[in-house]
Amino acid sequence: MQRNLLALTILLATCTIVTAQQQQQIPKETLRTTGKIIGLFNAGYYVELDSGKKWTIFLPDNSQYVEVLGQAEPRWLQRGAFVSFAGIFNSKGEAQAPVKDMQVFQPNKETKLGVQADGIAGANKNLFGGNNTEPAEQTARFLVSGRLMNIKDGKMTVSGPGFQTTVPVDDKMTIRVKMNNPALARVGDKVELNAWYYTPRAQLMQAKATSLKITAAMKFGYIEPKEKADPKEDGDKDEK
């Protein structure tokens, strides 16, 4: 009985090894190209390549390899979003000019939230709420990174470790987006992809992405304006 069990165990182990070796021996091809997203599904995108061919692209196993870039309308911003911007502040932490450019981003392990001066972190104590005795006329450029608390009436409040600041924003402020969120992709977006597929299955036009770079075709939060009715047409309707 024990001999039979041992033989069966050896047979199963051998089959497993053979199957793994067979999978490793299937030739693969690399797909590196650009295209446009023409459809979405839970596990990836339908992409029309620049060559005109249509492929099904499955997402990478880790979303950090999916980069989504674009711009956004102010209405798209949400409380709690991570944002960063550069500004000129005086020694009291007061912004000296409206913010004209900001970025919505997704933090990672290396992200340092807070206020940085000239690339040096740890300026919070002296800049916001500290006992700095320097003249208020002295100003410096700082990079602020934190969570968006509010944006209303031309002002934006951002908070982070050890600080909170409210700064004026320009009416035409540029809002850039850089996220690792595959769900932000939309039909019409441009995509740069690195993927692979099994050579014998090339005719299926299905590939597994290792990295994706998606550039939004339209601003996030953009609402297409409604067409105004022609007064002449309304007049004709009334006469009828």
* Cβ(210)–Cβ(196) below 8 Å: yes
Structure confidence by residue, pLDDT tens digits, 18-65: 455 555 688 999 999 999 999 999 999 999 999 999 999 999 999 999
* Cβ(104)–Cβ(177) below 8 Å: yes
- Is the pLDDT assigned to residue 238 strictly greater than 50? yes
Altogether, the residues listed in the chain come to a count of 240
pLDDT of residue 11: 46
Average pLDDT estimate for 227-235: 62
Q: Is the pTM of this model over 0.85?
A: no
pLDDT of residue 235: 56
Burial of residue 104 (CB within 10 Å: 0-12, 13-18, 19+) is buried
User: What confidence category does residue 185 fall into, taking pLDDT thresholds of 50, 70 and 90?
Assistant: very high
Give the residue carrying structure tokens 């009436």: 153
The domains of the chain are located at 72-177
Query: Phi/psi zone of residue 170: left (φ > 0), alpha (ψ -120 to 50 degrees), beta?
Result: beta
